[in-house]
Amino acid sequence: LEAFEVYWAALRSGLYFTAVNHHLSVEEAGYILRDAGVKALVVSAGKAELAEAVRHAADVAVVLAYGGEVPGYDDYAAALAAAPSDPLPDQPRGSMMLYSSGTTGRPKGVRPPLSHKQVHESGDPFVELNHDVYGVDADTVYLSPAPIYHSAPVKWCHSVHAYGGTVVMMERFDAEDTLRAIDEHKVTHAQFVPTMLIRILKLDPAVRARYDTSSLRVAVHAAAPCPVEVKAAIIAEWGPIVWEYYGSTESLGVTLINSAEALERPGSVGRPVIGVLHICDEDGAELPTGEVGTVYFEREFLPFSYHNDDERTRSAQHPAHPNWGTVGDLGYVDDDGFLFLTDRKAFMIISGGVNIYPQEVENALALHPQVHDVAVIGVPDAEMGESVAAFVELPVGVAGSPELASEIIAFVRSRVAHYKAPRTVTFVESLPRTPTGKLIKGGLRSRG
């Protein structure tokens, strides 16, 4: 509850709101605080250890803790009680600035420009989309099985709150608990990643039958490729209420596909509803229907910049059209304008709907004294979509072993968030590199 109070306080004050993933390491979280230039930090006592560790990572003027005491932080409830409760006469619309990792391994802040409008004025296309397409209104009961430090859940919660609806937050995803929550709270709308749908479908049919999910009017999934078989199975389970969308933290644009369209065009992520699609080659020339290229969305203006990284912002823009933006995904459109993605950002791993960038993991692996060279890739995983696999070249005279592999994995887990650490380590004689030192990862996938 307090997290949403802070979120809406920022949005009603013309401020940026940055949610920090509590699974990050102290170094990772501290970097975000410094890079974002945080002026106020609000933490949960449930994450007191991390909160204490990052207290002095940045020069923060206001530090508050809710849900209990955290050394070095003032009490959130006491601070609110001492503040005036009168509504502010001026409530300029703020925005979220979320962080996603870049290919350099450092998290990058995705910073949209602040609006000149008041918070109650219309103009947020994503809020309006959720109302017009999914029917979000004051009677909506939305289930979020994912935390709000991810872009999609926080945007959905924002939309539901904006229309006066109800948000039901799960502390963590569990397949049966999800069905129980839908039944208990009469959930009307919910959002998932494909891994969650897979786990729901893997429940014993008798378990699924215990719960009444008939209140569910819209089930949305996104964030990772969904196996065609899984899509068909969840539509058969819940009926034609399943939608998929393709977008990004950068909010460049959105495509949508409903259940009937998905069954007719397996693998498509739909047609654009925000932005105009362009498929371009490496030089920026538009490609004809059916040819694979970089996916761009055309908007009136680029709806974001990468905080403190002008070069990366420019790299996301089309070379001739600065209002066309891309996150580096590849795909093609068919004759009816439906988008099919053929690859994700270069080398990015999507595991359980969470983006993992290999460079960050490689940087941590490279610090291990027994690692001479390393490459990290995503390999197919029936449940998670992809899992993290490391290929390690050892120094001369060092032999690989299961014990060393376990040691290397533990080493990485001590330096980055645990979900980023490799599930497997494969020892190789040498890694394929070009004469200029560029790693050729394509040949590694067959070994994963």
Q: Where are the domains of the chain?
A: 1-96, 349-447
Domain 349-447 has CATH 3.30.300.30: yes
Structure tokens at 132: 């017009």
Q: Whose CA is closest to 246, among 202, 277, 217, 206?
A: 277
Query: Max Cα separation, the chain?
Result: 72
Give the per-residue pLDDT at 193.
87
pLDDT digits (tens), the chain, 448 positions: 899 999 999 999 999 999 998 888 899 899 999 999 999 999 999 999 999 999 999 999 999 999 999 999 999 999 999 999 898 899 999 999 999 754 345 778 999 999 889 988 877 899 999 999 999 999 999 999 988 888 899 999 999 999 999 999 998 899 999 999 999 999 999 999 887 898 899 899 999 999 999 999 999 999 877 878 889 999 999 999 999 999 999 999 999 999 999 999 999 999 999 999 999 998 999 999 999 899 999 999 999 999 999 999 999 999 999 999 999 888 899 999 999 987 666 677 889 988 787 878 888 898 898 998 899 999 999 889 999 999 999 988 999 999 999 999 999 999 999 999 999 999 999 888 644 345 677 667 666 5
Q: What is the rounded distance in angstroms from the CA atom of residue 305 to the CA atom of residue 126?
A: 18
Closest to 7 in 3D by CA, of 143, 163, 161: 161
Structure tokens at 202: 């893997």
Whole-number Å distance between alpha carbons of 302 and 112: 9
